[in-house]
Amino acid sequence: MGRAQGGSRSRHRSRAAGAGMSSWLATLPCSRAEADMAALLDDPFPGAEPMPSLAAAETADGWELRLYHEEEPGADLLAAFAALAPSSAAAPSVSLLPDEDWVTLSQAGLEPVDIGRFHVHTGEAQGGQKPGQWPIRIDAGLAFGTGQHATTAGCIAMAAGLAKQGSKRNVLDVGTGSGLLAFAARKLFPKARLTAADLDPVAAKVAVENARLNGVPLGRGAGAISLLAAPGVEHPLIAGRAPYDLVFANILAGPLVALAPSVSAVVARGGHLILAGLLQPQAGKVIAAYHAQGLTLINRSPRREWPVLLFRKDAPANRRAALRGARRETAGRGWQIDSL
């Protein structure tokens, strides 16, 4: 397997494999839009056991999807893999890899990314940090969020713009994945109290490990991050800390719409909400959902495929409404569905 040229995007939901274990690689040509969409899928192969690892990479010939598996992938898994790239006329190419750690291999194409003052890198590829930059090491492994994807970079850029306007004291990251947005927020707002949650307990554990790698303190005080496993805002600590003067939600369009009542309710009056993970054709429905909750769209990133939306709230926060909304959303599991 050649090293990816350019960058790669990955959403790994795999069981870590140790060195000395043979593994299989399936590759499939795809469009850039298909690569971006695959990077955001929460569970691309439901029920697959052992769980595969999915990555997307830019090669010298274009874009391709890569599936890593401990066993030779069967017909059903290959069919599900092929369905992720309907533009491809080719069947997936399957090969046996040598004895190596295939989770590490699946991140081999993740080059360092510079996002404003931030230098985001993995342990395998640290790159050249420029003077004055803030390094953040993210080993995504089993969680989403390495800084490669336009949505993550757009959220950080939007937050950096807010930091120039003033400080934030209470920040929430909904769907934190690897923890990258929460770590960047801590640098931008060093006196803030930060809360970060993901509905996937594995992702929450990955974020805790990434916090350790970056020397980020965990806890409830200013400058520390509380990392939780929770769907949306349904958690006593999240509700108890509301209202928040900055909330991130970088997930998918369907969950963003489903979570609109509860997420909007925990934003403080005068606070800001940054939404991402939606495609351009989905933006109208997402914007309408949050307008209906009394939020005003005040900025929108110029990215064509993956817009990042910045809202301001002019009405008071309502923790009781947030709890009611969260319980209703969780009961229907609407936050797990991307149906737009």
Give pLDDT tens digits for 91-105.
999 998 765 544 454
Let me know: does 173 contact 199? Beta carbons within 8 Å: no
Whether the full predicted model's pTM is greater than 0.85, yes or no, is no
Let me know: does 290 contact 273? Beta carbons within 8 Å: yes
Whole-angstrom distance, CA of residue 81 vs CA of residue 287: 32
Amino acid letter, residue 94: V
Mean pLDDT, rounded, for 51-55: 80
Mean pLDDT, rounded, for 266-287: 93
Give the domain range for residue 331. Answer: 113-336
The CATH number of whichever domain residue 85 belongs to comes to: 3.30.70
Let me know: does 67 contact 26? Beta carbons within 8 Å: yes
Residues 239, 153 share a domain: yes
E strand or H helix that includes residue 258:
helix 253-258
Ramachandran quadrant class, 101 (left: phi over 0; alpha: psi -120 to 50; beta: rest): beta
Residues 199, 118 share a domain: yes
Indicate the number of domains in the chain: 2
E strand or H helix that includes residue 242:
none
**Binding site listing for S-adenosyl-L-methionine:** 152, 175, 198, 250
Domain-ending residue, one of 106, 133, 167: 106
pLDDT in tens, 6-42: 233 333 333 333 334 458 889 999 987 888 777 667 6
Let me know: does 232 contact 199? Beta carbons within 8 Å: yes
**Binding site listing:** 152, 175, 198, 250
Ramachandran quadrant class, 242 (left: phi over 0; alpha: psi -120 to 50; beta: rest): beta
The CATH number of whichever domain residue 238 belongs to comes to: 3.40.50.150
pLDDT in tens, 218-254: 998 899 999 999 988 989 999 999 999 999 999 888 8
Let me know: does 107 contact 10? Beta carbons within 8 Å: yes
Q: Among residues of the chain, what percentage have pLDDT more than 70?
A: 76
Two structure tokens written together for 199 = 């509905």
Q: Is the dihedral of CA 324, 326, 330, 332 positive or negative?
A: positive
**Cα-to-chain-centroid distance, residue 108:** 19
The pLDDT of residue 196 is above 50: yes
